[in-house]
A and B are shown apart, each in its own frame.
Chain A
């Protein structure tokens, strides 16, 4: 057992979210849910992060940003798509400006559906992401993944 699951640092990014899911993510950091007791810290810096927590879907403006952030995170890393918009585009899926969920651009490991996703689900999702993180550490890395292609 590595230290990765005992000290998962997250990078929280709002792709095109309405902020509903973001508020729920931030609620997790508040004393009521207090994810820091699991060693989770919200860093604002991809280079320090293990878990990319993304809300909202992909559109033209944030496509390269999400790619960039994902590339600047060191391996091993996991992506948690929070909310239905991040999972599949949500109610905005058919809009002209929305490309789709996060997995259009980068590989997603855990989907946390909901609109807005509840803090309990988010925490649950992150905990599941941690075990995936452990697996990724155990498996030898096959070069730096530059993210999935578009669907």
Chain B
């Protein structure tokens, strides 16, 4: 099992290397080599993960926990320094509060704990590890091309690419540590590291807006961190010997004991996954360079938030607290999807869609029946792939056409055919049958019906699901409009971007074909080991979906068949002669141009209104669950 510590430490080594290397050629070599090795090591995990139940790997070095505590204090001091530098007093307060609680915990723990911390691997950690190792590495490779162009386009931003790549790989290291740790204080340590990386990466460009948004993200994640330490403290009080500090023992210990820390950690997960009322930081984090958005804020870091909630789903299931957490997720799904309709900035649409899907995963985890956990894990996988693909496509498009606005992406199929097709597949992967996200939502609907109060969630899924159809379809429509007069701008895209984009596109399609295998080899064993029961899509349905996927894959060949179509006429402009890009002679002899803009339905789906509604509603729900949990704790 040496692979586990290898995956935790090796990216950190690469990170430090990248901090030292300043020549671009060396950097590209190190990043690509590092990415390849990490990817292969993650794949290797597939073969060594035990078939049933988790495999444990005790770490015998006693001093590691002390080193972690030391590191946490150093980080706290660093954050306080930055807080003073940028006059962010709330951040200083939160850092100090968290550090103080941590010191208190350590003093309690020092007297009691004598357990050996474990690294562990089970199918769920494996799935996350694959996402981190494969998708994360691809994004780092993509970032090579992206950041080179970024620095060209933004000469006012200091070239801190050494720090950037250091942080990206260091982040990969922290994520591996997070998903492989069984010992909760270690999970917390890696959790804090991811908060730090996110904070520093959001503020990369150094502009006022970036710094503000970075501190916003920091504050909200610190709130979660404080709750996490609260959970550790509770466990220190309840079991001084420290037996319950391992996730595996905590989950199987029985509801009463585990519920309070589960809710507190779920709160930490909610802040990290940017559910309402904490969604503002994720939307604000979109000012960061696109690889950051792709890696941290859609496929990996925010997945840590939902990962931990899904881990605790067996504790939350059937409880009122779990139900309320599920409702927070559900309403986030509904409202964030609705807000996405009114957004025209592509990254904001992706951000709100991410928030919505994370909400859906938490809804499944909060209600937590075995069928729902199955659906939640499926959602995690498919969302990570499709969303990172979309972010990378948007980044590529942005660099070539100079805009992130969907309205400027009209006719992308003519201007950047290959990227447009990849974007098309990515968007289709987010909401169309038979792609994975739709399968997961379908499985979730079927699973929610049987759960207690499930009707509310079914309604949320029915309405929320339809809403997602709207904003994705109109984006798709924009990019496939064949606007005849448009220059091709697809040249000069760096090779690294093409590698990442093509591989992710292939994965989006392949993973749909492979999902029955993924379900039987990875998801079902995990659900079975945790719940004693598992579920799957019926064989008939699987066959039908594979048939649908094949149909979908052969239909585009009709484009070749009809390519020789010669009878092309202009679109109907009421008879007015018009140029191919729709300039026509209008009234008063003025030449006008038709511009076709999507509906954004501001009055119904406006961001301000819905954001306030969601924040208020979910804040109320959090207060409710807090009160209930306090009642249990005392």
Binary A-proximity of B448-482 (CB < 8 A = 1, otherwise 0): 00000000000000000000000000000000000
Interface presence of B580 (CB below 8 A): no
Interface presence of A97 (CB below 8 A): no
Query: Are the CB atoms of B575 and A66 closer together than 8 Å?
Result: yes
Binary B-proximity of A58-97 (CB < 8 A = 1, otherwise 0): 0000001111110110100000000000000000000000
What A residues does B577 contact at CB under 8 A?
Answer: 64-65, 67-68
In the complex, A79→B360 CA distance in Å? 59
Interface centre among B570, B575, B576, B577 (most CB of A within 10 A): B575
Query: Are the CB atoms of B575 and A13 closer together than 8 Å?
Result: yes
Interface presence of A142 (CB below 8 A): no
In the complex, A68→B579 CA distance in Å? 12
Question: A73: nearest residue on chain B (CB-CB)?
Answer: B569
Binary B-proximity of A106-148 (CB < 8 A = 1, otherwise 0): 0000000000000000000000000000000000000010000
What A residues does B575 contact at CB under 8 A?
Answer: 13, 46, 65-66, 68-69
Number of cross-chain contacts by CB at 8 Å: 25
Partner of B572, one of A13, A46, A66: A46
Interface presence of A30 (CB below 8 A): no
Interface centre among A65, A67, A68, A71 (most CB of B within 10 A): A68
Binary A-proximity of B572-588 (CB < 8 A = 1, otherwise 0): 11011100000000000
Interface presence of A45 (CB below 8 A): yes
Query: Are the CB atoms of A47 and B572 closer together than 8 Å?
Result: yes
Interfacial residues of chain A within 31-66, with CB under 8 A of chain B in the complex? 45-47, 64-66
Query: Are the CB atoms of B569 and A72 closer together than 8 Å?
Result: yes
In the complex, A113→B137 CA distance in Å? 77
Query: Are the CB atoms of A45 and B572 closer together than 8 Å?
Result: yes
Binary A-proximity of B538-576 (CB < 8 A = 1, otherwise 0): 000000000000000000000000000001011011011
In the complex, A67→B577 CA distance in Å? 9
Chain A nearest CB, measured from B71 CB (Å): 69
Q: How large is the interface on A (under 10, 10 to 19, 20 to 34, 35 or more residues)?
A: 10 to 19
Query: Are the CB atoms of B567 and A68 closer together than 8 Å?
Result: no
Chain A nearest CB, measured from B85 CB (Å): 65
Query: Are the CB atoms of A72 and B572 closer together than 8 Å?
Result: yes
In the complex, A115→B572 CA distance in Å? 31
What B residues does A45 contact at CB under 8 A?
Answer: 572
What A residues does B569 contact at CB under 8 A?
Answer: 47, 71-72
Chain A nearest CB, measured from B569 CB (Å): 5
Partner of B576, one of A13, A46, A65, A74: A65
In the complex, A62→B567 CA distance in Å? 24
In the complex, A67→B570 CA distance in Å? 12
What B residues does A13 contact at CB under 8 A?
Answer: 575
In the complex, A90→B576 CA distance in Å? 25
Q: Given A65-B577, A68-B577, answer yes or no on A144-B570 (Cβ-Cβ < 8 Å).
A: no
In the complex, A1→B454 CA distance in Å? 61
Chain A nearest CB, measured from B170 CB (Å): 59
What B residues does A65 contact at CB under 8 A?
Answer: 575-577
In the complex, A69→B575 CA distance in Å? 5
In the complex, A56→B362 CA distance in Å? 67
Interfacial residues of chain B within 137-190, with CB under 8 A of chain A in the complex? none
What B residues does A71 contact at CB under 8 A?
Answer: 569
In the complex, A130→B577 CA distance in Å? 28
What B residues does A74 contact at CB under 8 A?
Answer: 567
In the complex, A46→B569 CA distance in Å? 11
Q: Given A64-B577, A65-B576, answer yes or no on A72-B570 (Cβ-Cβ < 8 Å).
A: yes
Question: A70: nearest residue on chain B (CB-CB)?
Answer: B575
Interfacial residues of chain B within 48-83, with CB under 8 A of chain A in the complex? none
What A residues does B572 contact at CB under 8 A?
Answer: 45-47, 72
What A residues does B567 contact at CB under 8 A?
Answer: 74, 144
Chain A nearest CB, measured from B448 CB (Å): 45
Binary B-proximity of A1-20 (CB < 8 A = 1, otherwise 0): 00000000000010000000
What A residues does B576 contact at CB under 8 A?
Answer: 64-65, 68
In the complex, A47→B570 CA distance in Å? 10
Question: B569: nearest residue on chain A (CB-CB)?
Answer: A72
Chain B nearest CB, measured from A11 CB (Å): 10
In the complex, A46→B574 CA distance in Å? 9
Chain A nearest CB, measured from B278 CB (Å): 51
Q: Can you list 25 residue pairs at the A/B interface with Cβ under 8 Å?
A: A13-B575, A45-B572, A46-B572, A46-B575, A47-B569, A47-B572, A64-B576, A64-B577, A65-B575, A65-B576, A65-B577, A66-B575, A67-B577, A68-B570, A68-B573, A68-B575, A68-B576, A68-B577, A69-B575, A71-B569, A72-B569, A72-B570, A72-B572, A74-B567, A144-B567
Interface residues of A (CB under 8 A from B): 13, 45-47, 64-69, 71-72, 74, 144
Beyond the given pairs A65-B575, A65-B577, 17 more chain A to chain B contacts, judged by CB atoms under 8 angstroms and listed by A's residue number, are: A45-B572, A46-B572, A46-B575, A47-B569, A47-B572, A64-B576, A65-B576, A66-B575, A68-B570, A68-B575, A68-B576, A68-B577, A69-B575, A72-B570, A72-B572, A74-B567, A144-B567
Which 10 A-B residue pairs are closest in the complex by CB-CB distance?
Answer: A65-B575, A69-B575, A64-B577, A68-B575, A72-B569, A68-B577, A45-B572, A71-B569, A65-B576, A72-B572
